[in-house]
Amino acid sequence: MQFYSRRKKLIGNSQTEQLYGHCLQFYGQPPIENISLSEFETFAVDRLKLLKTVENLGVSYVKTSEQYTKKLDAEFSNLNFPYKIEADDRKPQTGPSEYEKRRKDHISHFILRLAYCQTEDLRRWFIQQEIDLFRYRFNDLPSKNIREFLEYNNLHYHTISIDEKKNLMDKLINSSFAVSGSTVDCKDFYKVPFQDALDLVRTRKVYLKGGYVYIPHQDIVTIVLNDFRTRLSKALALTARSLPAVQSDERLQPLLNHLSHAYVGQDYSIQKSIGKISLEQIDPLSAKSYPLCMRQLHRGLRDSHHLRHGGRMQYGLFLKGIGLTLDQALQFWRSEFVKGKVDADKFDKAYAYSIRHMFGKEGKRTDYTPYSCMKVILSNPPSQGDQHGCPFRHSDPELLKQKLQSYKVSPSGISQILELVKGMHYQLACQKYFELTHSIEDSGFSLNHPNQYFMESQKLLVGPGAGVKVEVKREDNPATKPPNPSPHQTPGPGNLPQEVAAEITEDLDSFFQDA
Amino acid sequence: MQKMNPYKIDIGAVYSHRPNQHNTVKSGSFLALEKELVFDIDMTDYDDVRSCCSGADICPKCWTLMTIAIRILDRALRDDFGFRHCLWVYSGRRGVHCWVCDEAARKLSVAARSAVAEYLSLVKGGDETVRKVVLSDPIHPFITESLTVVERYFSQYALLGQDILGSKEAVDKVLALLPEDVRKKLLQYFQTEKNPETRWETLKSMAQDKRTTAKKGHYFEMEIMLQYCYPRLDVNVSKGVNHLLKSPFSVHPKTGRISVPIDLKELDRFDPFDVPTISLICEELDQPKTEEEQEDTMEIENKKEAGERRKMRDYKRTSLAKYVKLFDQFLEGMAHSRKGELLKNSDLQKDF
């Protein structure tokens, strides 16, 4: 993309009409046109707001529920993104045309690719939100448009013959809740290699035979999503490689930096309070300020003088996040393990290494960051003998109830929590637990990290000034220069005037603070 | 390898560059290119449902769990996923491994391996979870097929061998998996009826009754069978492309037993305690040769090189012979397939 400071008027011609012939796209081709810097910025920020909404709604509501779609619809129209096929394109419209909305969609996606391709975390976040966004829009398409979309993008999945459908009738019906006898009779079924339908295979929502899954037409969205995810993942990797060229452009760099810094969330990896926690404080802290998952791990460790690998990672990194030093950590774990079946020598040989590894003192010296709620909930579910995971997600509701009762949570509080758990709102359940144990009405924050829980709890109990202080570490990108334009820059046609640049970054800052 | 005299041999992936040079390669270029899809079933994962042993111990009673696991997983890998080359190996102590060697399997991504492992997982949850199998409508054909296998062994293994409906302690564990009303009824019923098989029949019929009357599906008798018998695999072993697994034919350091391939045609008769140990092999090798063997070797001597001669003579005199033959058959199968593929491809390219 080339950039000029003056706004270039776009003239719609037949070529560009074809480019945006469909309201949904795979973003295969980057845009080839000139746009102004201010349009660049507006598009990017708008899309980011949209993705942020997608993320927030995804945590609070089930992704296909009515509230979710209603709220997302509203956001779409507020930000002028294309979301529904306009019934009649010739209807006089106020505001931007469908074409302009699609163009914005296209360009803003590619801008955000630049901002979000640099690290694994950023990429993962971006891909997740883009996928949710795509799914939402795809589900909205009427089936004629779906067929068009598939053809347009060369996804040739073969349908099975009527005879084969008859033979497999029972199996097809029993493989999926949504498939009935009439579905098999009337709708097309596609035979897709299982590698292209991993989500359906993983959850056993589809009939699998000889390495192929048999998918009813209505489920083709999952396949398409997989394809989208793979393409986007590869594209981001490629983008990362050509990033240095883009970053050397001083006009874009401040914006891209701000975009990527503000939305990944705090990672709690650097603490100002290192060493401010003593080992004696850990037991009382576990009862007062630990989220339930860590309280469970701590209890498990004290009771059996041992934790398995998953538990050691989750708890060990959390302790690092609340301010334990490496030496304290070694002392803490050793003293506990030694009470169990492990003697001091064995501890030093087998476990000390992995603790030092956690602190970035071994191996490839990665300073691992404490797990966020998403990570705990979604990855590495506990099995027989494990204590890690999220109790709201992984514990049997009966056992969870007993545990909450033993922690003196009121019966009405417990049932509220269990309701949230039933609705799969695990983080909201934990937030409720926070509110009940701290005797407040509203926690005032949106929980997404165990260390955040701890920090907020300490703030409440000890006061914001004193006690554990956490310096929030933003995703640091060593390759970028400082965000302020250099003082030697003179205002000119090719550069942003300093005040404007500062203004932009201020605006962005204040916008980004609200989350 | 004889020179290196390794303590242990584990097998991982085929990489793009020599692994010990991975630091010299530009980051991102060092990749795992291919790796067999593997499964590891470990008896300790069943400790909460077997009463005869625990930890590293196994006995003929609980070994049935491995038999069930192999039958269920092998069927699924073949019929559902279309894999044709699965080698099942006894781990040497308390479990079995499966090596899926099809080309398609070797090229699977991490996400695909994880999906396959999840598809095959029905028992979920750790110490905190009481009810580890939850079934709901509709019952997927995979579950139905797996249940068919479990049913064949359930009476003998669980009701008689493990006596899960015998002692009060065991019965309580089973009852904990049932809905409240069923539990109460059965507790009362069990006061008079003591025969485990009759008890089980009643439990089953109660489940069937509930299904005809209630709106929701109640599958608790199936859930119990699965929780007690269905294979428990470690998903992490199957997921990782960098993961290493013990090589077949290695010696288990704690038992001395050789990790031998298991003949699926004789699966019900496989006895882990009958598997040769390294000491046995050494003993057998030390035995003087019989006359017949001497004659054979005279013949072969004329045809092969010294090293090979020694090789051929030696293992054939030991109990390992039949296992090596099994392995050879497996490899032949793979070679045959590969030839077929190559022929197919060259035909497609009109290369005669």
d(CA B219, nearest CA chain A) in Å: 15
Instruction: Read off the pLDDT of residues B77-115 as tens digits, 9 standing for 90 and up.
Output: 999 999 999 999 999 999 999 999 999 999 999 999 999
Pairwise CB contact (< 8 Å): A387 & B108: no
> Please, is A169 exposed, middle or buried when counting C-beta atoms within 10 Å of its C-beta (0-12, 13-18, 19+)?
middle
Cα A482 from Cα A488, distance rounded (Å): 14
What per-residue confidence (pLDDT) applies to A67?
A: 73
Nearest CA in chain B to A402: B128
Question: Which of these, B310, B249, B236, lies nearest to B91 by C-alpha position?
Answer: B249
Q: Which residues of A touch B124 (CB under 8 A)?
A: 381, 383
- A88 in reach of chain B (CB within 8 A): no
Query: How large is the average pLDDT for residues A439-461?
Result: 85
Question: Domain coordinates of chain B in residue numbers?
Answer: 1-120+233-286+309-352, 129-230
The radius of gyration of chain A's CA atoms, rounded to the nearest angstrom, is 26
d(CA B124, nearest CA chain A) in Å: 6
Question: Which of these, A442, B234, A450, A389, lies nearest to A399 by C-alpha position?
Answer: A389
Q: Which two tokens stand for residue A89?
A: 């394109």
- A395 in reach of chain B (CB within 8 A): yes
d(CA A471, nearest CA chain B) in Å: 31
What per-residue confidence (pLDDT) applies to B74?
A: 97
Nearest CA in chain B to A379: B236
Cα B244 from Cα B241, distance rounded (Å): 8
Question: Which of B82, B111, B141 is facing A171, going by the closest CB pair?
Answer: B141
A293 is in an annotated binding site: yes
Would you say A85 and A137 are in contact if contact means Cβ atoms under 8 Å apart?
no
Question: Which of B81, B127, B139 is facing A208, going by the closest CB pair?
Answer: B81
Cα A34 from Cα A424, distance rounded (Å): 45
Pairwise CB contact (< 8 Å): A198 & B140: no
Fold (CATH) for B1-120+233-286+309-352: DNA primase, PRIM domain (3.90.920)
Q: Which two tokens stand for residue B228?
A: 């007690």
First to last CA, chain A: 31
> Above pLDDT 90, what percent of chain B?
63
Q: Which residues of B touch A175 (CB under 8 A)?
A: 138, 140-141
Pairwise CB contact (< 8 Å): B119 & A195: no
CA angle A193, A196, A200 (to 5 degrees): 95
d(CA A255, nearest CA chain B) in Å: 28
A23 is in an annotated binding site: no
Tokens 């299982």 map to which residue? A194
Cα B100 from Cα B112, distance rounded (Å): 14
The DSSP element (H or E) to which A381 belongs, if any, is none
| CB pairs < 8 Å spanning A and B | 96
What per-residue confidence (pLDDT) applies to A398?
A: 92
Would you say A56 and A514 are in contact if contact means Cβ atoms under 8 Å apart?
no
What per-residue confidence (pLDDT) applies to A143?
A: 66
Query: How large is the average pLDDT for residues B219-226?
Result: 94
**Which residues 6+ apart lie within 8 Å of A19 measured at CB?**
A29, A106
Query: How large is the average pLDDT for residues A407-415?
Result: 92
Cα A215 from Cα A160, distance rounded (Å): 10
Pairwise CB contact (< 8 Å): A195 & B128: no
d(CA B71, nearest CA chain A) in Å: 17
Looking at every residue in chain B, the average pLDDT score rounds to 88
Cα A26 from Cα A109, distance rounded (Å): 10
Q: Model's pTM, two decimal places?
A: 0.59
Question: Which of A173, A211, A381 is facing B124, going by the closest CB pair?
Answer: A381
Question: Which of these, A206, A35, A87, A310, lies nearest to B81 by C-alpha position?
Answer: A206
Cα B197 from Cα A148, distance rounded (Å): 59
The mean-pLDDT minimum among A152-161, A199-208, A455-464 falls in A152-161
Q: Which residues of A touch B79 (CB under 8 A)?
A: 209-210
Q: Check the CA dihedral B8-B13-B16-B22 and report its sign.
A: negative
Question: Which of A208, A382, A387 is facing B80, going by the closest CB pair?
Answer: A208
What DSSP string describes B264-307? GGGGGG--GGGSPBHHHHHHHHHSPPPHHHHHHHHHHHTTS-HH
Cα B40 from Cα B237, distance rounded (Å): 7
- A207 in reach of chain B (CB within 8 A): yes
Q: Which two tokens stand for residue B336?
A: 């045959």
Higher pLDDT, B245 or B346: B245
pLDDT of residue B293 exceeding 70: no
Higher pLDDT, A503 or B38: B38
d(CA B108, nearest CA chain A) in Å: 8
pLDDT of residue A3 exceeding 70: no
Instruction: Read off the pLDDT of residues A9-34 as tens digits, 9 standing for 90 and up.
Output: 333 334 444 556 676 778 878 887 88
What per-residue confidence (pLDDT) applies to B149?
A: 96
Looking at every residue in chain A, the average pLDDT score rounds to 77
Pairwise CB contact (< 8 Å): A386 & B48: no
What per-residue confidence (pLDDT) applies to A74?
A: 78
- A176 in reach of chain B (CB within 8 A): yes
Cα A508 from Cα A512, distance rounded (Å): 6
Query: How large is the average pLDDT for residues B60-86?
Result: 96
Cα B54 from Cα A385, distance rounded (Å): 13
Q: Which of residues 3 through 22 in chain B touch A, CB cutoff 8 A?
A: none
Q: Which two tokens stand for residue A468?
A: 């554990």
The mean-pLDDT minimum among B83-92, B162-171, B176-185, B289-298 falls in B289-298
Cα A301 from Cα A86, distance rounded (Å): 59
Instruction: Read off the pLDDT of residues A345-357 as tens digits, 9 standing for 90 and up.
Output: 888 888 888 888 8
The mean-pLDDT minimum among A247-251, B193-197, B221-225 falls in A247-251
β-bridge pairing A34-35 and A2-3: parallel
Cα A314 from Cα A390, distance rounded (Å): 10
Q: Which residues of A touch B217 (CB under 8 A)?
A: none
Would you say B158 and B164 are in contact if contact means Cβ atoms under 8 Å apart?
yes
Higher pLDDT, A274 or A466: A274
- A204 in reach of chain B (CB within 8 A): yes
